[in-house]
């Protein structure tokens, strides 16, 4: 069989990228597997490989899948790059009272930049990942990213920073499948990862929780400088002190350490004086937001209506998008709960990924 | 299981003999004979007889090759164990001595020798052992090795003192191939009353070794770098030198290393000993391959340097710095074409970090990341070397083109974004 081209597949050791690699082999591509070693997992507490990124168990799983498929497999050392472009901004964002989204940075700087370079260096024609997303090419030969067949698993939210030029070089083999089909395929193909749990949360944080991760990776005196007051919103009544703004995220109601006759939510985190504002849930709803550092895969229609996702699990809400100097403004047709700075706002036209940016305070 | 052949190509060429060597054909041919030698050499009954003979035979041959006594050889599981043993043994012994002395005199530990000098380019098994001993009270000092592959002898002499307990310097460096003047270094160490150890793993089988003449106290050897099997090494411990076992056990190796002996490893090494003079004499041909490779590489690839080429080197090793390429992808690309080479020590190639050895020699991180180690061996041919050169040219050209393309693109993006 003549090769359909050479593909570099980013294999995390999870079921999705394993099946992606298997499918490409089956379809007649010449496949090379690679795992990015992004973090020193010697302090990680994940016992079972989660297939999120690359704990050493996940590397072993990826390698055994590659062996099973008879494809070459390599581990790429990305620790320095990962620390610089994912971990450091992640820590910084929390200390600034935001709720960061490290997966997007990982995609921007590692998967769809570093790996693109590796793809070219290895003489490959395509780069493939196990993302739930689809590349669709229209009659004019223009390729764009669309949501996956499995709505529940769709991961296009994390892909808005992809350079439109590289879209034609991307292959998302599981994007047209539903998760149970992916598992069934893995089972049938005898891949060891068929029954592995889905990845949850942030790969490098593990089970310890992000606040513990922050405490381990930020000097004590910096953490101490993030202490402040908890105030009632909007009255400003002081409820007490808190150990650091990095413990709080918008919309949070558990773990506030407050006993009060009504349920309270974090309404706002103000990094300028370390104030955490808590109050009634109704204050979490807003119908406007500002978005900065935009990236577009397709042209934006100024004043047009788009479906906008404000966090990964968000279903998306309709809103009017207007360009601004630094990005764009969104006016939602319905107020949205907990619009959180540091998260991405991602725009869709029907199933097509248009672009996105970062939600600003 | 067969050793892995290349995935998408027909030919496979092994050019990484400093990482490990394929077993000598004669080792492979005789392997099934030893499998029937399964007895425990410690046994008194008939089953212990053959394995005992195997041990004695190999020990004798090695002693002859190295001009030492068979009793000065202690078999171990490999180079790492030997390195661990020597450093820990010498330090342990010194501590015991100091303790005993402090009971007799009140001068306390003033004269206690507790400094260990090691070269800055040692194998991790030696480096990490030294680090461990530092946590146990030893003072570790590093003897600088310069970028050109020479030991900084002036610095070395300045480091030596009456506090020096042990000096450890490898005979040949595994990455750049430089040979170090350990005879002279041992002489200087002894003059200060210090002991001398040398990790001879990379030199063994590549240059003739006369340990009596070198006059060192300890040396480390490994079998799988000389066409024998993995899992076996040996320590040379000069008669009457301080020694404490690392592994205590049933009295094997004259109570110096516990554990039932690795008979098959020892037998394989014995076979290699039979071909040892042949192995050494073939180094001339290997050098011709290496020199041919370096000459072609230098003339046909621009922006390429040979590391430590002014120093005396083991004849099989070539270490290159190639501008505008990423060592990691260079290695992968060559592997995809069937060529097995290395960017540094094999232990770290699974996860390529800049080689600590190169950094210690004064190479920059960037230089370390564009390095390539080619180490030739018995089975290589001129034709293989020529094929390899062609492959290297092709890959280097592609990597450089991508590097430029990505740089230009990133610059355009940076401009466009602002």
Reply yes or no on whether the pLDDT at A52 is more than 50: no
How far off is chain B from A53, nearest CA to CA, in Å?
A: 15
Residues A269-298: pLDDT tens digits? 999 999 999 999 999 999 999 999 999 999
Q: At what angle do helices A15-26 and A56-69 cross, to 10 degrees?
A: 20
If you ran DSSP here, which 8-state letter would residue A228 be given?
E
**B406 contact residues in A (CB cutoff 8 A):** 117, 120
How far off is chain A from B319, nearest CA to CA, in Å?
A: 21
Reply yes or no on whether the pLDDT at A323 is more than 90: yes
**A118 contact residues in B (CB cutoff 8 A):** 329
Band (A58; pLDDT cuts 50, 70, 90) = confident
> Helix, strand, or coil here: A239?
strand
> Helix, strand, or coil here: A196?
coil
Residue with tokens 């090769």: A3
**Mean pLDDT, range B277-298, rounded to an integer:** 97
Residues A182-224: pLDDT tens digits? 999 999 999 989 888 887 778 888 777 888 899 999 999 999 9
If you ran DSSP here, which 8-state letter would residue B106 be given?
S
How far off is chain B from A302, nearest CA to CA, in Å?
A: 19
Residue with tokens 């808590």: A278
- Single out the residue of B289, B335, B277 nearest to residue B316, CA to CA: B289
- Single out the residue of B73, B79, B324, B340 nearest to residue B200, CA to CA: B79
Under an 8 A CB cutoff, do B351 and A30 touch? no
Under an 8 A CB cutoff, do A77 and B352 touch? yes
A–B CB contacts, 8 A cutoff, strictly below: 39
Choosing from A44, A53, A78, A203, the catalytic residue is: A203
Under an 8 A CB cutoff, do A37 and B351 touch? yes
CA atoms within 13 A on the CB side of A219: 3
**A77 contact residues in B (CB cutoff 8 A):** 328, 351-353
Under an 8 A CB cutoff, do A75 and B332 touch? no
- B351 inside 8 A of chain A by CB: yes
Reply yes or no on whether the pLDDT at A255 is more than 90: no
List the single residue in B with minimal CA-CA distance to A39. B351
Q: Which residue has the higher pLDDT, B418 or A287?
A: A287
Under an 8 A CB cutoff, do B328 and A37 touch? no
Q: What is the 3-state secondary structure (H, E, C) of A83-132?
A: HHHHHHHHHHHHHCCCCCCHHHHHHHHHHHHHHHHHHHHCCCCEEECCCC
Under an 8 A CB cutoff, do B405 and A120 touch? yes
pTM of the model: 0.90
**A70 contact residues in B (CB cutoff 8 A):** 7
Closest partner residue to A121 among B8, B333, B350, by Cβ?
B333
List the single residue in B with minimal CA-CA distance to A35. B351
Please name the helix (run of DSSP H) or strand (run of DSSP E) that holds residue A36, with its range, or none: strand A30-37
First to last CA, chain A: 55
- B416 inside 8 A of chain A by CB: no
For B210, other C-beta atoms within 10 Å of its C-beta total 12
Tokens standing for B219?
């040396």
Band (A51; pLDDT cuts 50, 70, 90) = very low
Residues A84-126: pLDDT tens digits? 999 999 999 999 999 999 999 999 999 999 999 999 999 999 9
B/e letters for A183-214, b = 16+ CB within 10 Å, e = fewer, are bebbeebebbbbebeebeebbbbbeeebbebb
DSSP line for A290-322: EEEEEEESS---TTEEEEEESSTT---EEEEEE
- B12 inside 8 A of chain A by CB: no
How far off is chain B from A117, nearest CA to CA, in Å?
A: 7
List the single residue in A with minimal CA-CA distance to B410. A113
**A73 contact residues in B (CB cutoff 8 A):** none
How far off is chain A from B6, nearest CA to CA, in Å?
A: 8
- B336 inside 8 A of chain A by CB: yes
d(CA A172, CA A174): 6
pLDDT at site B411: 84
Residue B282 and residue B119 in contact, taking contact as beta carbons nearer than 8 Å: no
List the single residue in A with minimal CA-CA distance to B394. A123
**Mean pLDDT, range B383-410, rounded to an integer:** 94
Residues A143-163: pLDDT tens digits? 999 999 998 899 999 999 999
What value does the mean pLDDT of chain A take? 91
Chain A: which residues have CB within 8 Å of chain B? 30, 32, 37, 70-72, 74-77, 117-118, 120-123, 163
Reply yes or no on whether the pLDDT at B417 is more than 70: no
List the single residue in A with minimal CA-CA distance to B351. A77
B347 carries an active-site annotation: yes
DSSP line for B1-43: -PPPPPSS-S--EE-BTTT--PPPHHHHHHHHHHHT--S-TT-
Choosing from A103, A106, A124, A277, the catalytic residue is: A106
Q: What's the distance, CA B317 to chain centroid?
A: 12
Lowest mean pLDDT segment, chosen from A25-34, A251-260, B348-357: B348-357
For A252, other C-beta atoms within 10 Å of its C-beta total 19
How far off is chain B from A161, nearest CA to CA, in Å?
A: 13
- B3 inside 8 A of chain A by CB: no
List the single residue in B with minimal CA-CA distance to A120. B402
Under an 8 A CB cutoff, do B332 and A117 touch? no
């Amino acid at each position: 069989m003549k090769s359909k081209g050479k593909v570099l597949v980013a294999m995390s050791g999870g079921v999705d990228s394993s099946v992606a690699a298997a499918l490409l082999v089956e379809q007649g591509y010449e496949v090379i597997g690679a795992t990015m070693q992004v973090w020193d997992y010697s302090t990680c507490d994940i016992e079972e490989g989660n297939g999120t990124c690359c704990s050493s168990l996940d590397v072993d799983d990826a390698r055994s899948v590659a062996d099973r498929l008879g494809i070459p497999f390599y581990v790429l050392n990305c620790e320095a790059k990962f620390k610089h472009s994912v971990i450091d901004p992640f820590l910084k964002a929390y200390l600034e009272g935001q709720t960061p989204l490290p997966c997007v940075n990982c995609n921007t700087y590692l998967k769809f930049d570093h790996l693109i370079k590796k793809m070219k260096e290895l003489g490959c024609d395509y780069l493939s990942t196990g993302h739930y997303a689809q590349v669709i090419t229209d009659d004019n030969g223009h390729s764009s990213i669309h949501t996956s067949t499995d709505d529940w698993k769709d991961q296009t939210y994390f892909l808005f920073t992809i350079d439109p030029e590289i879209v034609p070089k991307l292959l998302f083999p599981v994007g047209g499948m539903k998760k149970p089909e992916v598992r069934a395929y893995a089972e049938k193909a005898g891949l060891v990862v068929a029954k592995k749990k889905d990845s949850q949360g942030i790969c490098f944080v593990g089970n310890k929780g992000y606040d513990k991760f922050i405490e381990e990776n930020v000097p004590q005196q910096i953490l101490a400088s993030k202490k402040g007051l908890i105030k009632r919103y909007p009255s400003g009544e002081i409820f007490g002190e808190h150990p650091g703004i990095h413990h709080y995220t918008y919309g949070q109601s558990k773990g506030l350490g407050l006993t009060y006759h009504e349920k309270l939510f974090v309404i706002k985190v103000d990094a300028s004086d370390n104030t955490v504002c808590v109050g009634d849930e109704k204050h979490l709803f807003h119908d406007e937001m500002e978005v900065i550092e935009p990236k577009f895969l397709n042209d934006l229609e100024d004043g047009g209506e788009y479906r906008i996702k404000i966090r990964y699990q968000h279903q998306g809400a309709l809103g009017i998008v207007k360009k601004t100097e630094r990005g764009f403004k969104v006016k939602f047709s319905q107020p949205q709960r907990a619009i959180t700075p540091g998260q991405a706002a991602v725009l869709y036209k029907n199933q097509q990924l248009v672009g996105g940016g970062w939600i600003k305070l | 299981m067969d050793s892995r052949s290349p995935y998408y190509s027909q030919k496979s060429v092994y050019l990484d003999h400093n990482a490990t060597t394929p077993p000598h054909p004669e080792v492979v041919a005789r392997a099934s004979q030893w499998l029937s030698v399964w007895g425990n050499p410690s046994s008194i009954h008939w089953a212990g007889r053959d394995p005992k003979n195997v041990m004695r035979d190999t020990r004798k041959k090695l002693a002859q090759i190295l001009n030492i006594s068979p009793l000065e050889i202690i078999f171990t599981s490999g180079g790492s164990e030997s390195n661990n043993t020597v450093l820990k043994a010498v330090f342990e012994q010194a501590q015991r001595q100091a303790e005993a002395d402090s009971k007799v005199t009140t001068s306390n530990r003033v004269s206690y020798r507790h400094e260990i000098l090691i070269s800055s380019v040692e194998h991790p098994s030696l480096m990490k052992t030294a680090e461990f001993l530092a946590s146990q009270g030893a003072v570790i000092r590093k003897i600088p090795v310069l970028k050109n592959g020479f030991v900084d002898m002036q610095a070395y002499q300045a480091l030596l003192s009456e506090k020096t307990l042990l000096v450890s310097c490898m005979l040949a460096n595994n990455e750049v191939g430089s040979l170090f003047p350990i005879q002279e270094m041992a002489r200087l160490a002894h003059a200060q009353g210090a002991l001398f150890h040398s990790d001879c793993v990379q030199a063994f089988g590549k240059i003739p070794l006369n340990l009596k003449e070198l006059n060192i106290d300890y040396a480390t050897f490994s079998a799988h770098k000389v066409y024998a099997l993995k899992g076996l090494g040996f320590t040379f411990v000069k008669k009457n030198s301080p020694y404490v076992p690392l592994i205590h056990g049933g009295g094997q190796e004259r109570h110096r290393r516990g554990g039932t002996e690795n008979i098959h490893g020892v037998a394989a090494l014995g076979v290699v000993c039979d071909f040892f003079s042949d192995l050494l004499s073939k180094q001339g041909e290997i050098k011709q391959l290496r020199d041919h490779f370096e000459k072609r590489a230098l003339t046909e690839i621009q922006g390429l340097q040979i590391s430590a080429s002014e120093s005396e080197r083991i004849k099989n090793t070539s270490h290159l710095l190639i501008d505008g390429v990423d060592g990691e992808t260079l290695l992968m690309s060559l592997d995809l074409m069937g060529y097995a080479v290395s960017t540094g020590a094999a232990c770290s190639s699974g996860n390529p970090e800049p080689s600590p050895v190169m950094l210690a020699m004064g190479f920059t991180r960037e230089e370390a990341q564009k390095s390539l180690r080619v180490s030739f061996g018995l089975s290589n041919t001129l034709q293989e070397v020529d094929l390899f050169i062609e492959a290297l040219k092709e890959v280097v050209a592609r990597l450089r083109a991508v590097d430029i393309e990505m740089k230009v693109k990133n610059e355009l993006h940076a401009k466009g974004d602002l």
